[in-house]
Amino acid sequence: MSTVYPEGSKSRVNIWRTSIFTIAHMFNDTSPNLYPVLLPVLMVQLNFGTAAAGLISTVSALTAQLLQPVMGMWADRIGGKYFVVGGLAIGSILAGVSLGLAPTYNLLLLGLLVAGLGNASFHPHASALVSDVTGNRKGFGMSLFMIGGNFGRALAPIMASTAFLLGGRHGLILAALPGIIMSIVMFRVLTPAPEPKPHLGKIFTPEFIKGLRKASSLLVVVGLRSMATLTTLTLLPILWKLWGHPMAETAGLLSLMFIAGSLGNVAGGYLSDIFGPKPVLVASAILSSLWLILFLSTSNPVLSFLLIALLGASLYSTGSVVMVFSQALFPANKGMASGLTLGIGNTLGSLGVAVLGFISDRYSPAIGLWLTAGALLLSVPFVLGLKFNNPD
């Protein structure tokens, strides 16, 4: 397979390029995560309820997750740099402009939907190019790239709340600047442009269809966990505001959840190598439910922050474990097929957020989060029904 960039004798050049991709990934993943901390303010200024807030999370997740496999195939076929550069720029600009200027809820929703398309365009092509620019250090390069996304999600609440506190809603436009700057940098880094790659092999083979049939339990597990994560990110800021806490504390709460989630992701992969994937998935579901229930039952701010850190670590501890499961189901098409599996599962989860948002609007955000804790426990029987074979 031809590489995008010739491998020179100095490995530091590859590490430098990988670092640029990592920073771009950080700001790309910042944009779709700006809105949760702002929901209490936006609900007042644009006059919408909790159900509509849940729909924002649903639409953002659908565009960012479901279309990634399609965008990846398209990018591979035509090559070029505009999926990375354009996706980063469009996602950043529309997220900042929509949050800062949209005069109505419908325009806000539309803007975030198109911004999600930009996010979906960036991910698959950028991750494939990281594999090219790192040469024989693919594992190290990909780990750096993934860490960038984790830091971006943790940075988003702080960036959004700071921009709002300094400049009000209009100040949120400034949140687009880092992404715009990095898109210009990526335009330079990806010169000359990557060449198209031929599409090798068939995807929808009999083995692939057989894998999809076996994946039903995995899709339920992924869907329930995705629903729990998105619902928590949506309802937590609203509930925290109702409890009388300022936006700065909400930003700290969400950032802590993402940072702890990054550590939990690494720990979950390590523990799955020792104990196997099923115990990690079961323990994650039970502990996540427990931490969320305890959070809803306490009024101590210090204990609340501790419980949110534990919840984030538990919720995000299964990312690599689920990926291993999906790759085992599709050994001949690991990249696209596992992405399709996660895309379908996350889509199911995002639809569940809209339902819980409607329930929360009718009753209270706390009720929605109590149901979320129950949904996590509901995933345990489906985990036990998974049949796991080690992938090649």
Instruction: Write the DSSP assignment of 138-151 as a string of letters.
Output: HHHHHHHHHHHHHH
Distances (CA, A) of 314 to 77, 263, 286: 38, 10, 9
pLDDT of residue 322: 76
Q: Are 147 and 235 within one domain?
A: no
pLDDT of residue 11: 46
| Per-residue pLDDT tens digits for 309-337 | 999 999 988 876 776 666 666 655 555 55
Q: Scanning the structure block, which residue is given the tokens 């379908």? A: 344
**pLDDT reading at 158 higher than 80:** yes
CA angle 376–159–54, rounded 5-degree value: 35
Q: Among 313, 312, 295, which Cα is nearest to 304's?
A: 295
Q: Are 76 and 178 within one domain?
A: yes
Which whole number is the average pLDDT over 340-353? 76
Do residues 260 and 200 lie in contact, with contact meaning Cβ atoms separated by under 8 Å?
no
**pLDDT reading at 76 higher than 80:** no
Q: Are 78 and 26 within one domain?
A: yes
**pLDDT reading at 368 higher than 80:** yes
pLDDT of residue 9: 38
For the chain, what is the domain count? 2
Q: Are 178 and 258 within one domain?
A: no
Q: Are 303 and 331 within one domain?
A: yes
Q: Which of 200, 234, 257 is the last residue of a domain?
A: 200
Encoded tokens for 64: 């960012």
Task: Report the chain's terminal Cα–Cα distance, integer Å.
Answer: 20
| Per-residue pLDDT tens digits for 274-300 | 888 889 899 999 999 999 999 999 989
Encoded tokens for 347: 């889509």
Q: Are 224 and 183 within one domain?
A: no
Which whole number is the average pLDDT over 57-79? 69
Q: Which of 152, 182, 200 is the last residue of a domain?
A: 200
pLDDT of residue 363: 93
Q: Compute the mean pLDDT over every residue in the chain, rounded to the nearest whole number.
A: 82
**pLDDT reading at 3 higher than 60:** no
Q: Are 170 and 211 within one domain?
A: no
Q: Mutual orientation of helices 206-214 and 334-362 as an angle, nearest 10°?
A: 30
Q: How far is it, in rounded angstroms, from Cα 230 to Cα 246?
A: 21
Q: Are 155 and 215 within one domain?
A: no
- DSSP assignment, residue 196? P
pLDDT of residue 326: 67
Q: Are 295 and 196 within one domain?
A: no
Q: Are 17 and 59 within one domain?
A: yes
Between 335 and 111, where is the model more confident?
A: 111
The CATH number of the domain holding residue 160 is 1.20.1250.20
Q: How far is it, in rounded angstroms, from Cα 149 to Cα 155?
A: 10
Expressed as residue numbers, the domain containing 36 is 1-200
Please report, to the nearest 10 degrees, the dihedral formed by the alpha carbons of residues 124, 129, 135, 140 taken in order: -50
pLDDT of residue 66: 66
Q: Are 232 and 380 within one domain?
A: yes
Q: Which of 200, 227, 262 is the last residue of a domain?
A: 200
Cis? peptide before 196, omega within 30° of 0: no
Q: Are 190 and 214 within one domain?
A: no
